[in-house]
Structure 1
């Protein structure tokens, strides 16, 4: 009986460890389910600044690709997970980073998205602390649902919004080149 119990514990431990990926002090799942949307991790990495790990990020897709243009142009279910691993990531810094990211992603032409960007920034109305997890889930033909620690924050409609949002991490001038490459599995 002891041997059977040990074998079961070993198998459960093995299956649990293979279902997740350790990224710095964060743990990202290999598969995610958002409502009826099943996604698998495409790639992952860390956003660093001055040798400090700020957050771990993962890109979740239905079909793997290492081409950022394919991801940005696709009208398919997908998600970006951001797992905060540093106390240096604060509410005000996140808001500034998102605003700057949209400016870069749209080459300073945010006019068509301004209302939706402001709504999205409103999702960061509460303090951000270490171990917070944000999921930015694009739902085909609908828009981006945002979650913080599995709590739904709201929906921003439009594929054009998803394009600009995902371009913050996957565009020509991303928030972090190494995180972009990691998310694309390069």
Structure 2
């Protein structure tokens, strides 16, 4: 009886420890497993977006299961999420919107016309002041679209697989925002 109790206690302790497992990247603690928009996801990989040798934000990719194939992730219909944690006070709303513009241009090979209205809607989510410590969650939910939240507060939903592919392409396409961040998000 005593041995069974100790076994149950040990299993409970291990379960508690693994449920709270975290990874630290760029000074940001990231959970190994999350539930976003009722989707259970695991940390695929994370890295730091650098510009001019300065850390701008930590980008983390969450998927139902680990996957290192960027094309599969962008084109697939599985739940997926990108978490952006701002680590620099130098990121402003205008700079983020400009970066998003450039990212969509690169991700679509310059063919943004089919999703122009959706890109405008997405950029509007970044119009409020952006401060160090802000967290943006970009969560793709199958049959719903991309749900965008800032600091846990939903900003809106953008429908469409074409938009999802382009948005994830900002970080995962052949011309990503940051090649090192792409590799890190893919777990490489």
The answer, yes or no, to whether TM exceeds 0.5 is yes
**2:65 aligned residue:** 63
**2:185 aligned residue:** 183
Within a 5 Å distance, the mapping from 1:76-155 to structure 2 comes to 76-155=78-157
Structure 2 SS opposite 1:124: coil
How far off is 1:35 after superposition?
A: 2.9
Q: How many matched pairs?
A: 175
- Cα distance per residue 1:111-154 (max 9 Å; x no partner): 11000000111111210000000000000122100000000000
Does residue 156 of the first structure (1) align with residue 158 of the second (2)?
yes
Partner Cα distance (1:129, 1:17) in 2: 29
Unaligned 5+ runs, structure 2: 1-12
Structure 2 SS opposite 1:41: strand
How far off is 1:109 after superposition?
A: 1.1
Partner Cα distance (1:84, 1:17) in 2: 25
Partner Cα distance (1:39, 1:16) in 2: 14
Partner Cα distance (2:28, 2:117) in 1: 33
Unaligned 5+ runs, structure 1: 1-10
| Structure 1 runs, 4 residues or longer, greater than 2 Å off | 14-18
Structure 2 SS opposite 1:95: helix
How far off is 1:17 after superposition?
A: 9.7
